[in-house]
Structure 1
Amino acid sequence: MKKQRMKAVALSTAISAGALFAGAAQADQLDAIFETSQSKLALAQASQKRIDKLQDDTDSLLNQFKTVSKQIEDLRVYNAQLDKQLANQRTVLNDLDESINNVTVIERRIQPLIMRMLDGLEQFIELDVPIYLDERRDRVAKIRANMERADITVSEKFRQVLEAYDIEAEYGRKLFVYTDTLSVGGQDLQVNILGVGRVALMYQTLDTKYSGAWDQSQRAWVELDSGEYRAAILKAIKIARKQATQDMIQLPILAPEAAQ
């Protein structure tokens, strides 16, 4: 009986020891499984980080690609616009070249024209009634001197000649008076020269004692009857100087001659 109890205890002890060894073995296996799981999780996390980084890099590259594509498209539009502008500029340059060539031809033609106009103006002044004679001669002389200057453009020379023509035309459209010196009665006297356009040109001494008129047919000054025209000429002089109101005046006007 006693032996049987000892066997039972021994058996129970053996079973307990076996269970203990079995439990220890299972714990080691669990630790190994846990470590393997942790390692796989770390690998998975690292892989996910690489994937996220690749995704971020891909998104960045995609955005860069879109930006560069938009810039390329903008450059294409800009280049197309520049091509149109360059084409227009080439057309303008061609027109300018043609204009420059035409200007050269015009300058060669206009220079002789200016000289002919100046010669005609000078001849006209000498044949015209002696209005501001010295001033007009000086003006033509200055313009003629400018014709040889290289620092004055052809257009400016032409403008000066046209301006002189305008001044000449203005003399025939206004009532004017100025002071000059004439030989009257064998002596040089200061006189007021009165012009009614180019219709009549008269003089009167400053003391109103002598009066006269220009006779274009004789190309000379002719003395007038002071008693008949003295007051009329004096009044006209005052009107020309705006010292009197405009009024009807009887002045000596020579009848026009028939053209030959």
Structure 2
Amino acid sequence: MTKVINKSKVAAALIGMFAIAGSASAAAQDLSTLQNEEAKTHTADKRSQQKIDSLFEQSQELLYEYRAVVDEYENLKVYNDHVQRLVDDQNASLASLQRQIDGIEATKQGVVPLMYKMIDALEQFVELDLPIHKERRMARVERLREIMGASNVTTSEQFRQITEAYQAEMDYGAGLIAYEGKLQFEGEEISVDFFHLGRAALMAQSLDLKNGWIYNKEAGAWEALDDAYLGSLTKAIRMARKQTAPDLIKLPIYAAERAE
């Protein structure tokens, strides 16, 4: 009986040992499973962190790009505003120039008829004046009429030449002037020295100093000069050419007509 009980105890012990061994084995398997799961979790966490880090780096790069785009936009906006101001200023300048051009055209409409009148008046003046360089002066009037019909000559240049012609006419009326030329008298052409004292008197003397003439503006013709004035006329011509010192001389001058 005692042997039977001992065998039962041994069997129970063996069963308990097997149970404990089974429990230990199961526990070992659970621990391994937990460790594997933890390793997987760590791996997953690591991958997640890597993704997070990658996404963060991408977000940082996008942020930098965004800031660069914003800076470029601001710079472009400033530049575009600057260009717009330049364009506005240029448009204003163009508008001002157009107004000036329109004004010039309107001015031309008044200036051109005036220039024709000035040329007509100049021609009439030369015809009525003493015949001082008359051919040269009439040729100048003709040139003025030609340039008025020239399309390649600007209105300003036309006006400038007309005013220069008027200035030249004014110069004829100042000082003592002598020049050599040809005198038509009684059907004969004579080489003479012309002399004029402004527009007060116009005279001529033959190159041999033996004859002299004076222009009668009222009659519109040359008349023989009294021999008594030949010496004074010779001296006056030399004074005009600065060949002798200025001095008092006596010459005939036709009195100016009194306007009625």
Report the TM range for the smaller structure's normalisation. Answer: 0.7 to 0.9
Letter in 2 for 1:247: P
Within 5 Å, give how 1:72-87 maps onto structure 2. 72-87=73-88
**Separation in 2 of the partners of 1:55 and 1:246?**
108
Partner of 1:60: 61
Partner of 2:18: none
- Structure 1 runs of 4+ off > 4 angstroms? 35-53
RMSD after superposition = 3.5
Partner of 1:183: 184
Contact 2:216 2:222 in 1 (8 A): yes
**Separation in 2 of the partners of 1:53 and 1:177?**
106
Contact 1:236 1:249 in 2 (8 A): no
Seq. identity, %? 33
Give structure 2 stretches of 5+ with no counterpart: 1-23
Within 5 Å, give how 1:1-260 maps onto structure 2. 50-184=51-185, 187-230=188-231, 232-242=232-242, 244-254=243-253, 255-260=255-260
Shift in Å, 1:251: 4.3
Shift in Å, 1:186: 5.6
- Distance change in 2, residues 1:246/1:48 (3 Å): farther
Q: Aligned with 2:137: secondary structure?
A: helix
Shift in Å, 1:73: 1.8
Shift in Å, 1:208: 1.4
**Separation in 2 of the partners of 1:109 and 1:127?**
28
Q: Aligned with 1:60: secondary structure?
A: helix
**Separation in 2 of the partners of 1:253 and 1:84?**
75
Q: TM-score, normalised by structure 1?
A: 0.73
**Separation in 2 of the partners of 1:187 and 1:253?**
24
Shift in Å, 1:86: 3.2
Partner of 1:16: none
- Distance change in 2, residues 1:40/1:148 (3 Å): same
Please list the CA deviations of residues 87-119 of structure 1 after superposition, one character each: whole Å capped at 9, or x if unmatched.
Answer: 333333333333333333322222221111111
**Separation in 1 of the partners of 2:250 and 2:202?**
10
- Distance change in 2, residues 1:43/1:142 (3 Å): same
Contact 1:175 1:196 in 2 (8 A): yes
- Distance change in 2, residues 1:40/1:208 (3 Å): farther
Question: What count of residue pairs does the alignment treat as equivalent?
Answer: 239
**Separation in 2 of the partners of 1:201 and 1:45?**
123
- Distance change in 2, residues 1:195/1:67 (3 Å): farther
Give structure 1 stretches of 5+ with no counterpart: 1-21
